[in-house]
A = this chain, B = another copy of it.
């Protein structure tokens, strides 16, 4: 059984991705703080998920420069978190420029030292029409980069098992695999009771509503998004 580095943000998508990874690989969980508003809450979710899966090999790293650089409502207190507009096109204000490249670069560095064969990331195309670094073609390019930028015997590839899934299917898959969705955190705005109104809450609530399952998290309000 090979080793895989799994990027676990503490959200639903990465939790389901982890649930898929642990079936095939010996997991090493990686969490990245980058000055996002709900950093502490996400870290708590990360450790809870790692505990549930009995993952001893975990690393928490800090990419504070993503907040230092700014440009996103996710990390910049001066920019408001927009209410959800699920039908909107274009790049949302929560976009952190080239974020996933920073995350993957760190994950691949660790993977190379560990002798891992895979890096898992829970990127989803559906909820990220406007996030250029969530598209499949981005990960295809990243795999070429890894091949050229690591030792010849490294052979690490990025796995994105939920990238083509709808959020509804991610919920269903998580439930099928017994993923601990109750331990995850998705809200971009609050860290105690989810707001129910930011992009991330709206996408999550809609997914549970479409799947016909009650989201186990507490919400300030649960608008209907279906």
Name A's B-contacting residues (CB within 8 A).
59, 61-66, 68-71, 91, 96-102, 104-106, 108-110, 112-113, 132-133, 135, 137-138, 141-142, 144-146, 148-152
Known: A61-B68, A62-B65, A65-B109. A101 touches B145 (CB 8 A): yes
Known: A68-B61, A132-B149, A132-B151. A105 touches B98 (CB 8 A): yes
C-alpha spacing A97/B113, complex, angstroms: 7
Chain B residues in 8 Å Cβ range of A138: 145, 148-149
The residue among A132, A138, A142, A145 with the most chain B CB atoms within 10 A of its own CB is A145
Q: Looking at the assembled complex, report how far the CB atom of A173 sits from the nearest CB atom of chain B, in whole angstroms.
A: 26
Chain B residues in 8 Å Cβ range of A109: 65-66, 69, 96-99, 101-102
Chain B residues in 8 Å Cβ range of A106: 63, 65, 69, 102
The residue among A99, A106, A133, A137 with the most chain B CB atoms within 10 A of its own CB is A106
The residue among A65, A102, A138, A142 with the most chain B CB atoms within 10 A of its own CB is A65
Main secondary structure of the interface of A (DSSP, over half): helix
Please give the count of copies of this chain that the complex contains: 2
C-alpha spacing A143/B138, complex, angstroms: 11
| Contact B145–A141 (Cβ < 8 Å) | yes
Query: Which B-chain residue is minimally distant from A99 (CB atoms)?
Result: B109
The contact sample of 13 A-B pairs, CB cut-off 8 A, is A61-B64, A61-B65, A63-B106, A66-B109, A69-B106, A69-B109, A71-B112, A98-B150, A99-B109, A100-B149, A102-B102, A138-B148, A141-B145
| Contact B98–A108 (Cβ < 8 Å) | yes
Other 5 A-B pairs with CB < 8 A, given A69-B109, A97-B150, A100-B149: A69-B110, A71-B112, A97-B109, A98-B112, A142-B145
C-alpha spacing A110/B97, complex, angstroms: 8
Q: Looking at the assembled complex, report how far the CB atom of A4 sits from the nearest CB atom of chain B, in whole angstroms.
A: 16
C-alpha spacing A148/B70, complex, angstroms: 21
C-alpha spacing A142/B151, complex, angstroms: 17
